[in-house]
């Protein structure tokens, strides 16, 4: 890198780590499984930024296009218009540097737990001794060190999802994409997983885009919540969450948490707006 280039870089304003600008996605007729005759607008002019190390939740009703946005950010499907920049890269195809967690654990039944975790390292051809050690450490972090050689079908749903989380983190990705990862779990397991995710973030400093339709989960986990409207998904509101870290289940009962929940509920349209005197309008 030569000096003038460096200087121009320092003059430029601080760029966000991730920048989604005016992204729209229109599925043409026949492109979707539903085979609708009309083109479907899944995403309409979505824009937001996020910083390195932030967890940003994409909150909205089911099937509103949040998942579509996540797949666009991952480079898995093309966008119709707009731009997605992660790090220094305009995303047009997968960067190979993401961790992915889906709603279902999606483990490979033919692999043991640790070999499932190591799958990304095999694809990236970095499956060495250090990788195995890191896999062991990650499994210990999620409390599964006793299940290294087990097969996925021997684990409960929550345990499988923890393995999936380790698989998403093994290659130390610059961005973690999570698509309603705890949506299929029962409430108590879900709270445990929320705390686990907060701890993992503290220890790895990972940046996370987190799709959910649970208001309280979004607020509990996030530095920022992006609320989407019904399809076609538009960004209805950006809500910064200033709850202090470390957060615990007690955080859910603080006034600031309730306040954030109220704002998010209003943005989602599940609460009727109130006027200045506090009476429903």
Partner 1 sequence: MMSRLVAQIGYPLAGVAFILAAWVFVCWAGNLPTVVLPTPDKVFYAFIARFDLLVSEGWVTLKETLYGFLLALVIGLPMAVAVANSRPLNLMFYPLLIGLQSVPKVALAPIVLVWLGTGMESKLAIVWLVAFFPIIVDTVAGLRSTPRELLELADSLRASRLQIFLKVQFPAALPFVITGAKVAITLAVIGAVIGEFVGSSEGLGFLLLSATSQLDTPLAFAALFALSVLGMFVYLLVELAERLAAPWLPPPSQRH
- Using the contact rule CB under 8 A, the part of the chain among 89-97, 207-215, 237-245, 259-267 near partner 1 is 89-97
Q: How far is the CB of 218 from partner 1 (least distance, A)?
A: 22
- Under the binding rule (CB under 8 A), the answer on residue 172 touching partner 1 is no
Q: What distance in Å separates the CA atoms of residue 99 and residue 79, rounded to the nearest whole number?
A: 20
- Under the binding rule (CB under 8 A), the answer on residue 109 touching partner 1 is yes
Nearer to partner 1, 127 or 216 (CB): 127
- Under the binding rule (CB under 8 A), the answer on residue 34 touching partner 1 is no
Nearer to partner 1, 44 or 180 (CB): 180
- Using the contact rule CB under 8 A, the part of the chain among 47-55, 67-75, 212-220, 250-258 near partner 1 is 67-75
Chosen residue from 47, 80, 104, 174 binding partner 1 by CB under 8 A: 104
Question: Residues of 253-262 as b/e, b for ≥16 C-beta within 10 angstroms?
Answer: eeeebeebbe
- Under the binding rule (CB under 8 A), the answer on residue 146 touching partner 1 is no
- Under the binding rule (CB under 8 A), the answer on residue 63 touching partner 1 is no
Q: What distance in Å separates the CA atoms of residue 234 and residue 249, rounded to the nearest whole number?
A: 31
- Under the binding rule (CB under 8 A), the answer on residue 75 touching partner 1 is yes
Q: Phi and psi (nearest 5°) for 204?
A: -110, -15
Tracing tokens 């709850």 back to the chain, one arrives at 243
Q: What distance in Å separates the CA atoms of residue 178 and residue 198, rounded to the nearest whole number?
A: 14
Chosen residue from 25, 71, 162, 234 binding partner 1 by CB under 8 A: 71
Vertex 22 angle, CA 21 and 27, to 5°: 125
Nearer to partner 1, 120 or 232 (CB): 120
Q: What distance in Å separates the CA atoms of residue 198 and residue 191, rounded to the nearest whole number?
A: 11
Q: What distance in Å separates the CA atoms of residue 124 and residue 175, rounded to the nearest whole number?
A: 16
Find the helix packing angle between 129-141 and 187-204, rounded to 10°: 130
Quick check: helix, strand or coil at residue 205?
coil
- Using the contact rule CB under 8 A, the part of the chain among 72-80, 81-89, 194-202, 262-270 near partner 1 is 72-80
Residues near partner 1 (CB under 8 A): 71, 74-76, 93-96, 98, 100, 102, 104, 106, 108-111, 119-120, 122-124, 151, 153, 171, 177
């Amino acid at each position: 890198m030569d000096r003038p280039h460096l200087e121009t870089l320092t003059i430029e304003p601080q760029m966000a780590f991730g920048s989604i600008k005016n992204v729209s996605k229109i599925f043409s007729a026949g492109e979707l499984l539903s085979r609708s005759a009309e083109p479907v607008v899944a995403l309409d002019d979505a824009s937001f930024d996020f910083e390195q190390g932030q967890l940003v939740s994409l909150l909205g009703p089911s099937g509103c296009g949040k998942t579509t946005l996540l797949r666009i950010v991952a480079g898995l499907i093309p966008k119709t218009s707009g731009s997605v920049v992660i790090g220094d890269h305009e995303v047009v195809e997968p960067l190979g540097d993401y961790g992915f967690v889906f709603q279902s654990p999606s483990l490979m039944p033919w692999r043991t737990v640790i070999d499932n975790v190591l799958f990304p390292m095999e694809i990236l051809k970095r499956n060495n001794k250090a990788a195995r050690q890191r896999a062991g450490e990650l499994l210990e972090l999620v409390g599964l060190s006793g299940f290294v050689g087990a097969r996925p079908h021997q684990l409960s749903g929550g345990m499988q999802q923890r393995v999936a989380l380790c698989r998403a983190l093994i290659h130390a990705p610059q961005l973690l994409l999570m698509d309603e990862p705890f949506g299929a779990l029962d409430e108590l397991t879900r709270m445990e997983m929320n705390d686990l995710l907060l701890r993992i973030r503290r220890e790895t400093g990972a940046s996370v885009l987190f799709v959910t339709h649970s208001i309280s989960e979004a607020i509990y986990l996030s530095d920022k919540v992006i609320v989407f409207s019904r399809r076609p998904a538009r960004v209805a509101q950006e809500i910064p969450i200033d709850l202090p870290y470390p957060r615990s289940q007690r955080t859910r009962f603080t006034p600031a948490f309730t306040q954030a929940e109220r704002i998010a509920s209003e943005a989602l349209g599940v609460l009727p707006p109130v006027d200045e005197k506090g009476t429903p309008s």
